[in-house]
Amino acid sequence: MNTKIIHEAQNSPRDLSVIEKPAVSVSLLIFSINKGKLEVILIKRIRQPFEGFWSVPGDIISIEESLEEAALRVLHEKTGISDVYLEQLYTFGDLKRDSRGRVITIAYFALIPHNSVDLTKAPDALHARWTPVLNLPKELAFDHKKIVEYGSKRLKNKIGYSNIVQGLVPGKFRFSELQKIYEIILGEKLDKRNFRKKMTSLDIVRDTGEMYREGKHRPAKLYRFTTKNLVIYD
């Protein structure tokens, strides 16, 4: 074959219409803290495959929407939650993760205060529930147990170098509440003095000048994060 013809063939656009394409979905991990435990929202599937199994909220994206648009749509449709910070977590693409065919899923995660959402009023209320990460059902749909475990490990690592934990606390909080959240996620007790010293040195929380009073307990200062934006520190 003529060298010029070969060169032109190699540089011509590939015909994507003849290439077999996988489906792409989004899977959402919504974490919160409740009664001393890290919890995640699970949805009970009402259709095959895995009918009757619990899964994280998710759906196939349409050809007209971006990944983020799909993630926000699924979040609202499945849980009624909107206006939260979603962060892309990881892409899961095991060949046999879905029995219907080749499906690649992009996982996102978000952190919210537990009392900020009422799942009984969610569109999928009959099938949505908060579940402790350490007490998941023996088997979840697809590879969702792997996704939840990966997400919780990522969260555990990320609170060590960012202010991402702010998503789990209300606008104002006591230092003891903040420390408790760190202890739950890390799975270990922290020294009160060292924790306070570290948080103060990072300049990511500030004193609001207000006090928390409850019953006969000694009033405690209320704090807030200095910014709602994600901050990465050394």
End of a domain among 158, 182, 211?
Answer: 158
Same-domain check for residues 103 and 211: no
Same-domain check for residues 57 and 134: yes
Same-domain check for residues 149 and 169: no
* Residue 233 in domain: no
Q: What's the mean per-residue pLDDT of the chain?
A: 90
* Residue 168 in domain: yes
End of a domain among 138, 158, 178?
Answer: 158
**CATH number of 195's domain:** 1.10.10.10
Query: What is the pTM assigned to this prediction?
Result: 0.88
Same-domain check for residues 219 and 201: yes
Same-domain check for residues 170 and 153: no
Q: What is the pLDDT of residue 228?
A: 86
Between 188 and 121, residue with greater pLDDT:
188
Check pLDDT > 80 for residue 198: yes
Same-domain check for residues 154 and 190: no
Lowest mean per-residue pLDDT among 37-41, 113-117, 147-151? 113-117
Q: Which domain, by its residues, includes 212?
A: 164-225
* Residue 216 in domain: yes
Same-domain check for residues 134 and 180: no
* Residue 231 in domain: no
* Residue 234 in domain: no
Number of domains in the chain: 2
The average pLDDT across 79-84 equals 84
* Residue 10 in domain: no
Between 136 and 126, residue with greater pLDDT:
136
Check pLDDT > 80 for residue 3: no
Same-domain check for residues 43 and 137: yes
Same-domain check for residues 114 and 135: yes
Q: Which helix (H) or strand (E) holds 25?
A: strand 23-34
Q: What is the pLDDT of residue 18?
A: 82
Three-state SS sequence of the chain:
CCHHHHHHHHHCCCCHHHCCCCEEEEEEEEEEEECCEEEEEEEECCCCCCCCCEECCEEECCCCCCHHHHHHHHHHHHHCCCCCCCEEEEEECCCCCCCCCCEEEEEEEEECCHHHCCHHHCCCHHHEEEEEHHHCCCCCCCCHHHHHHHHHHHHHHHCCCECHHHHHCCCCECHHHHHHHHHHHHCCCCCHHHHHHHHHHHCCEEEEEEEECCCCCCCEEEEEECCCCCCECC
Query: 134-181, pLDDT tens digit by residue?
Result: 999 999 999 999 999 999 999 999 999 999 999 999 889 999 999 999
Same-domain check for residues 209 and 93: no
Same-domain check for residues 195 and 107: no
Is the CB of residue 221 less than 8 Å from the CB of residue 175?
Answer: yes
Same-domain check for residues 192 and 126: no
Q: Which helix (H) or strand (E) holds 177?
A: helix 175-186
Q: How far apart are CA 138 and CA 188, in angstroms?
A: 25
